[in-house]
Amino acid sequence: MLTAFMVVNTMAQTWNCGYPNAADVKATLSGGTLTISGKGAMIDYSSYRVPPWKDVTKAVIEDGVTTIGEWTFSNCPVLTSATIGNSVMSIGKGAFYDCNGLTAIDVVAGNASFSSQDGVLFNKGKTTLILYPIGKPGSSYTVPNSVTSIGESAFFFSRLTSVTIPNGTIGNGAFQACDCLTSVTIGNGVTSIGNMAFVKCWKLTSVTIGSGVTSIGSMAFDACESLTSITCLKPNPATITMGNQVFGDDMYSYSMNKNNCLLKVPAGAVSLYKKAPQWKSFQKIMDGGANLKSLTVNAGTLNPAFNSSIFMYRDTVPQNVGNIVLKTTPTTGATVSGDGQKTLNFGENTFEIKVTTAQGTSVYTVIVIRTVDTYLLTDLTVSAGALSPEFKPDTFVYKAIVPVSVENVVLKATPITGATVSGDGKKALKMGENTFEIKVVSPTLGSFVYTVTITRAESDILFQLINIDETTSGNTTTTYSGWKFTLIDGYKLNYQLTTGNVSGDFPLHFDVRDGLITHDTIINVKAYSVYNITLNLTGITYSQSSDLWFTKTYYNGVLVNIIMIYTRHAGNVIASNDRDTLSTTEINFVGSGIKNVSVSDLTFVKGYGNPTSVKEVSAAPAVAVFPNPATEFITIQGAAGSLITVSDLSGRTVYKQAMTGESETIAVSSWANGVYLVAVQTGNNKTVSKIVKK
């Protein structure tokens, strides 16, 4: 068992890592930053000589160091950035392998061998793309026109969804295991595709292979089980040198289904492909005459530029563009559907344009992203229950639960200046779910729709999620009893139970991932009381193993043990080592007379170890603060003796006093207009409410 008592380790660690003289180059780890300094080359690491440093978040290779050794940072899953000095002339194999958190590699301008652009590593002349960081933000990427070769494993494990490659050669395994990749466009300037270049791109659905390709390596598209469309622009497939099992072995279920995958080829080339080795195994080979001559948009710019043989495009428009016109010109004899004027929602809008001839149908996809710079609501409140999640201007869907005694609620929406609101106000509630739409309209910024679903429970028992707090973010290295620990992330999920006319023993059940982890406890409750239930989740790694997640177990605030284990992938997302599909944690609390509540808050996959959970239960009297908004006074109802503290958003205390009875009235007319936080402390329990002074 592990305990939670930890002491922060502030001492720097230093290792000799030069070659051939180890003392020529040193690595110093301090506060998460690994600095490599000295003169000369670094030693190469391997599975037999593992790099000694861990918990590295930033790497700096200073001037004077000439090489970065093989597998140098392969043991650094939380590394986010690396800076390469001007003396580095070579980078060893696998130096940044499996650095899942790496977002950028920056090369100083004076380096004669390497360069960087937007965090991507190139050779000096930007003719070779060496490494695209695994954790680099963004869903699409177009390889610069200057690039004539993409290095081996350059995009390994990247999280891109679409990529366009205009020129050059694609190295062996360049896009291996890019399990988010859905669309690949290989331009007419590309001449060769390496062995296993796109192997295990499980989600890849469409590929365009340009007319300039002369060779495709063995197993280049093996294990691309989702492929449904391949467009090859080569007029004669016999001019392409094919490796072994380019499209996978039909014996295995994870290979593409050649019975369903559509192969589109140039006009008049169908018969040639039906005779060509490997190509002829596709059961659906279609003449590619069903194409467009032109495709334009009246707002923004298509990316990439239109080409009749490219079937996937993206466009970005500002917030005030609510409609877009997709204008097309088809080839002779073809008909088009899906073009014309389109209404845009905020975020991604996907449109399919179908071009049909007697030979078949081609589909062009245009994804238009309507950006949001200004949201139209500043506040949204409900008069009973609590919105889940807490209101944020960029969150559009909310839920709340109210007891059976609540027959009406008031939804109050506060818009920005110049915007109008409809759909708020007083609402009658039927039993079960009640869904309301609040529309906010601005003449210059467009419109938003906020949806609130209020469930009127079948009894006065009420259980609901109030909020989620991230209590720890990032990495803090600590030690205990000679072991090194890293506190990764912590979450506190705050629930509230209103008992109504129920009293006595009340069972609670904690369930993670369909029963893999469960925990049951019983609390004793009083009728017509409010209980706060806090669930704590904390991530910890330790240096003697791979990254593991544990939850700390509490009951009534007392630490019990640390048992539940998950494997950490990156950020707030957790995955197993074999990168299985992610699933969502479901947290269910079930009790007699209470409606089941299922909340999807954190992302986990696979539970290991013994069942456990974290429980901290405390009783607290109900607290009410009204009116809200207030102009002259506010009234606070709670327990006598409770401490009231009112502060503004800067943290300045404007009122502090203990309640003399169960109700306290405070004059607020002299307070400045704005938002205030009202905290009511009763023993160890604290309730915070937000009010608006007008």
Domains of the chain: which residue ranges?
7-239, 292-370, 377-458, 464-620, 624-693
Query: Is the pLDDT assigned to residue 364 strictly greater than 60?
Result: yes
Query: Is the pLDDT assigned to residue 487 strictly greater than 60?
Result: no
Mean pLDDT of 200-217: 93
Mean pLDDT of 451-477: 65
Q: Of the segments 222-236, 472-486, 508-522, 646-660, which one has the largest average pLDDT value?
A: 222-236
- With contact defined as beta carbons under 8 Å apart, do 54 and 32 qualify? no
- With contact defined as beta carbons under 8 Å apart, do 368 and 324 qualify? yes
Range of weakest confidence among 67-71, 87-91, 498-502: 498-502
3-state SS, residue 513: coil
Determine the pLDDT at residue 207.
94
Residue in this structure with the two tokens 């996959």, named with its chain if needed = 605
Upper half-sphere CA count for residue 627 (Cβ side, 13 Å): 8
Name, in order, each residue with C-beta under 8 angstroms of 652's C-beta and a sequence gap of 6 or more: none
Determine the pLDDT at residue 535.
58
Determine the pLDDT at residue 532.
67
- With contact defined as beta carbons under 8 Å apart, do 94 and 74 qualify? yes
Determine the pLDDT at residue 545.
32
Mean pLDDT of 202-224: 93
Assign 247 a pLDDT band (cuts: 50, 70, 90).
Answer: very high
Assign 684 a pLDDT band (cuts: 50, 70, 90).
Answer: low
Q: What whole-number distance in Å separates Cα of residue 227 and Cα of residue 247?
A: 10
Assign 679 a pLDDT band (cuts: 50, 70, 90).
Answer: confident
Q: What whole-number distance in Å separates Cα of residue 334 and Cα of residue 355?
A: 6
Query: Is the pLDDT assigned to residue 591 strictly greater than 70?
Result: no
Mean pLDDT of 634-644: 83
Determine the pLDDT at residue 160.
93
Beta strands 347-357 and 360-370: pairing type?
antiparallel
Query: Is the pLDDT assigned to residue 467 strictly greater than 80?
Result: no
Query: Is the pLDDT assigned to residue 578 strictly greater than 60?
Result: no
Three-class SS string for 607-665? CECCCCCCCEEEEECCCEEECCCECCEEEEECCCCCEEEEEECCCCEEEEEECCCCEEE
Tens-place pLDDT, residues 518-538: 445 566 777 656 666 665 544
State the fold for domain 292-370.
Immunoglobulin-like (2.60.40)
Determine the pLDDT at residue 533.
65
Assign 134 a pLDDT band (cuts: 50, 70, 90).
Answer: very high
Query: Is the pLDDT assigned to residue 175 strictly greater than 90?
Result: yes
Determine the pLDDT at residue 509.
54
Q: What whole-number distance in Å separates Cα of residue 154 and Cα of residue 133?
A: 8
State what percent of residues in the chain have pLDDT above 70: 72
In this structure, how many other beta carbons lie within 10 angstroms of the beta carbon of residue 637?
A: 17
Q: Of the segments 73-82, 121-130, 602-611, which one has the largest average pLDDT value?
A: 121-130
40 DSSP assignment: B
Query: Is the pLDDT assigned to residue 557 strictly greater than 50?
Result: no
Determine the pLDDT at residue 98.
85
Assign 607 a pLDDT band (cuts: 50, 70, 90).
Answer: very low
Determine the pLDDT at residue 291.
81
Determine the pLDDT at residue 483.
41
Structure tokens of 74?
């392969």
- With contact defined as beta carbons under 8 Å apart, do 214 and 234 qualify? no
- CATH superfamily membership of 7-239: Ribonuclease Inhibitor (3.80.10.10)
Determine the pLDDT at residue 395.
86
Query: Is the pLDDT assigned to residue 473 strictly greater than 90?
Result: no
Residue in this structure with the two tokens 């050794």, named with its chain if needed = 69
Residue 348: name the closest of 320, 311, 316, 374 by CA: 316
Query: Is the pLDDT assigned to residue 142 strictly greater than 50?
Result: yes
- With contact defined as beta carbons under 8 Å apart, do 620 and 495 qualify? no
State the fold for domain 377-458.
Immunoglobulin-like (2.60.40)
Assign 491 a pLDDT band (cuts: 50, 70, 90).
Answer: low
End-to-end CA distance of the chain: 54
Determine the pLDDT at residue 44.
94
Assign 312 a pLDDT band (cuts: 50, 70, 90).
Answer: confident
Determine the pLDDT at residue 677.
81
Mean pLDDT of 458-479: 56
Same fold, 377-458 and 624-693: yes
Determine the pLDDT at residue 495.
63
Q: What whole-number distance in Å separates Cα of residue 604 and Cα of residue 587?
A: 12
Determine the pLDDT at residue 459.
61
What does the mean pLDDT of the chain come to? Answer: 77
Range of weakest confidence among 54-63, 294-303, 541-550: 541-550
Query: Is the pLDDT assigned to residue 558 strictly greater than 50?
Result: no
> 552 vs 449, which has greater pLDDT?
449
> 550 vs 43, which has greater pLDDT?
43
Structure tokens of 259?
């019975």
Which amino acid is present at 677?
A: L
Mean pLDDT of 172-192: 93
Which amino acid is present at 83?
A: T
Determine the pLDDT at residue 46.
86
> 146 vs 531, which has greater pLDDT?
146
- With contact defined as beta carbons under 8 Å apart, do 51 and 64 qualify? no
Architecture of the structural domain at 624-693? Sandwich (2.60)
Determine the pLDDT at residue 548.
34
Assign 334 a pLDDT band (cuts: 50, 70, 90).
Answer: confident
